[in-house]
């Protein structure tokens, strides 16, 4: 099973709301990633967790707060977002003991109003 799941599929939130995106994988991968993708652009890396520890933060604004509760789960907490944060948010995981191949989830389409 090479599946990464993400919930919700779509999210509309106001600029004062607090919401969370969730990502789950059961492939035993110990590296998990959050990406942001705008229309007709490649994904941009936001955060990397390795063995449940934050290893890369690509200077993301503090209104995005990642969390890795365990090796299978990754959350992205959202607070006080701006309309320009509207995008497709993608989660990925990779087997960083063998092939290092990255597997992506279907994404959450976020609209900030």
Partner 1 sequence: KQEVTQIPAALSVPEGENLVLNCSFTDSAIYNLQWFRQDPGKGLTSLLLIQSSQREQTSGRLNASLDKSSGRSTLYIAASQPGDSATYLCAVRRGYTGANSKLTFGKGITLSVRP
Q: Which residues bind partner 1 (CB under 8 A)?
A: 2, 4, 6, 31, 41-43, 45, 48, 50, 55-56, 88, 90, 92, 94, 96, 99-107, 109
- Could you give the CA distance from residue 42 to residue 45 in angstroms, rounded to a whole number? 10
Least distance from partner 1 to the Cβ atom of residue 10, Å: 10
Residue 92 or 112 with smaller CB distance to partner 1 = 92
Least distance from partner 1 to the Cβ atom of residue 99, Å: 6
Least distance from partner 1 to the Cβ atom of residue 103, Å: 6
């Amino acid at each position: 099973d090479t599946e990464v799941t993400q919930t919700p599929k779509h999210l509309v939130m106001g600029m004062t709301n607090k919401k969370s995106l969730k990502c789950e994988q059961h492939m035993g991968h110990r590296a998990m990633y959050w990406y942001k993708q705008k229309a007709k652009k490649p994904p941009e890396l936001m955060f990397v967790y390795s063995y449940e520890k934050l290893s890369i933060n690509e200077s993301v604004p503090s209104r995005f707060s990642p969390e890795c509760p365990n090796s299978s789960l990754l959350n992205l907490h959202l607070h006080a977002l701006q309309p320009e944060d509207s995008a497709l948010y993608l989660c990925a995981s990779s087997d960083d003991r063998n092939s290092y191949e990255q597997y992506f989830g279907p994404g959450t389409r976020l609209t900030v109003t």
